[in-house]
């Protein structure tokens, strides 16, 4: 594969870190490492959201104001662009401290601006399209954030929901997304449609997959008989029906991760269901190489789950709750299995389909999963696309 020569090699990445490290943080780290390895000079400006946990009312008030436009972030990014002669400003997450001010700073300083959208915060106050145990698209359907304010979708607070909604609406009216971002990178066609729904020109939107560095493939002859869940331990991640399914079947399940439902998980462990806590990336990679199948039970409309890509790379057959995006990533019966999210019986049926396969059929399924990684999520594919994006923003 012929790689275009690096253009716009002086880059500034802006990323607002989450209070709990997640997939987006890993994507940023992976992308910076890859670009530096291939000749780019990448500067990183990180922001944090610690002020949103403060009990000081003045600090909280100022943090709320920053939803709209953080002057400190504006000047910080502007100075960095001028100092290092940055050609391209690439922003991943800007909520909440960085704020959309970073795009205004980029344009004023003369840089081209690129934004990767990982979640649905521009269209949904809780960024998940999830409420009351199921998918919710009320704000998109209403073309207004009023339903989200009414349901207190942001941090269960009507006041904070109203402030965030006002900020998002302000930047739509101010033309931030139409005029201050030169290129949007989205993970799937669904997000592209959402952006076009608020007036963004489709020609400014590139659909590009996440990627991970290559990991060791393990065939099924050397795997154990245990299924794996690795991710956040939260209600919306489908933990409850997953555990119900394995309690019913008696099959072995290993759960790795952390979150608000850890107590529930610990209370429901057994001889066949084990909780091993938060693991390092290196430990997770080994678990993917050992497990019989990877369970992805999320009830959310996920963007592009990194753990599914990790499963593909290692050749671990994924069994995923069907959604608009997981259904586009995974071919049922070819490189994994889909089931009805939230339904323990449906999950057990999908697992049963895998259990019925002999070693030869498992090897074929696993090999197809690996090919899916090589053809869609390998770093070399990502590098070609991202170089092309930066070159076109010259």
**pLDDT, position 66:** 82
Q: Does residue 55 surpass a pLDDT of 80?
A: no
Provide the pLDDT for residue 158.
Answer: 93
Burial class (CB in 10 A: 0-12, 13-18, 19+), 85: exposed
What ranges do the domains of the chain cover? 10-211+378-392, 220-376
With 70 as the cut, is the pLDDT of residue 5 above it?
A: no
Q: Tens digit of pLDDT for each residue in 376-392?
A: 999 999 999 999 999 98
Q: Can you give the pLDDT at residue 19?
A: 67
User: Would you tell me which CATH number, out of the four given (3.90.930.12, 3.90.940.20, 3.40.190.10, 3.40.50.2000), belongs to the domain 10-211+378-392?
Assistant: 3.40.50.2000
pTM of the full predicted structure?
A: 0.90
Instruction: State pLDDT tens for residues 60-102.
Output: 566 667 889 999 999 999 999 999 999 999 999 999 899 999 9
116, 121, 120, 119: which is closest to 30 by C-alpha?
A: 116
**Percent of the chain predicted with pLDDT > 70:** 93
Q: Report how far residue 108's alpha carbon sits from residue 15's, in angstroms, rounded to the nearest whole number.
A: 19
In whole angstroms, give the CA distance from residue 262 to residue 308.
22
Q: From the CB of residue 317, how many other CB atoms can be counted at a distance below 10 Å?
A: 24
Q: Average pLDDT in the 122-151 region? A: 96
* 220-376 matches 10-211+378-392 in CATH topology: yes
pLDDT at res. 26: 86
- Looking at domain 220-376, its CATH superfamily turns out to be Glycogen Phosphorylase B; (3.40.50.2000)
Tens of pLDDT, residues 276-314? 999 999 999 999 999 999 999 999 999 999 999 999 999
With contact defined as beta carbons under 8 Å apart, do 46 and 94 qualify? Answer: no
Residue 7: which pLDDT band, with cuts at 50, 70 and 90?
Answer: low
Q: Is 270 helix (H, G, I), strand (E, B) or coil?
A: coil
Question: Is residue 118 pLDDT above 70, yes or no?
Answer: yes
């Amino acid at each position: 594969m012929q790689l275009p020569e690096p253009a716009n090699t002086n880059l500034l990445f802006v990323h607002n870190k989450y209070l709990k490290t997640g997939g987006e943080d890993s994507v940023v780290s992976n992308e910076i490492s890859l670009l530096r390895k291939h000749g780019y000079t990448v500067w990183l400006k990180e922001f944090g959201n610690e002020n949103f946990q403060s009990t000081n009312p003045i600090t909280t008030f100022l943090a709320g104001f920053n939803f709209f436009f953080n002057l400190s972030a504006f000047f910080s990014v502007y100075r960095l662009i001028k100092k290092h002669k940055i050609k391209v400003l690439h922003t991943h997450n800007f909520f909440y401290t960085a704020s959309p001010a970073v795009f205004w700073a980029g344009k004023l300083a003369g840089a081209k601006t690129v934004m990767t959208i990982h979640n649905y915060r521009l269209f949904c106050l809780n960024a998940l399209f999830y409420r009351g145990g199921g998918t919710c698209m009320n704000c998109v359907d209403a073309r207004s954030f009023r339903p989200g304010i009414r349901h207190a979708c942001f941090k269960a607070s009507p006041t904070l929901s109203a402030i965030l909604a006002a900020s998002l609406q302000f930047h739509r009216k101010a033309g931030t997304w139409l005029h201050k971002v030169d290129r949007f990178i989205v993970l799937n066609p669904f997000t592209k449609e959402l952006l076009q729904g608020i007036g963004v020109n489709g020609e400014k939107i590139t659909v590009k997959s996440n990627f991970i560095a290559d990991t060791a493939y393990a065939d099924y002859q050397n795997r154990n008989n245990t299924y794996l869940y690795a991710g956040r331990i939260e209600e919306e991640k489908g933990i409850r029906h997953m555990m119900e399914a394995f309690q019913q079947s008696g099959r072995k399940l290993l759960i790795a991760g952390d979150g608000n439902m850890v107590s529930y998980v610990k209370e429901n462990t057994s001889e066949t269901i084990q909780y091993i806590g938060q693991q390092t990336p290196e430990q997770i990679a080994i678990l993917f190489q050992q497990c019989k199948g990877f369970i992805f039970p999320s009830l959310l409309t996920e963007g592009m789950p990194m753990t599914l890509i990790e499963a593909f790379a290692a050749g671990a057959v994924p069994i995923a709750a069907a959604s608009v995006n997981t259904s586009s990533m995974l071919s049922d019966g070819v490189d994994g299995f889909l089931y009805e999210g939230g339904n323990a019986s449906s999950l057990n049926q999908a697992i049963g389909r895998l259990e019925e396969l002999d070693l030869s059929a498992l090897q074929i399924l696993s090999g197809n999963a690996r090919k899916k990684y090589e053809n869609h999520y390998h770093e070399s594919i990502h590098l070609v696309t991202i170089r092309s994006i930066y070159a076109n923003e010259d």
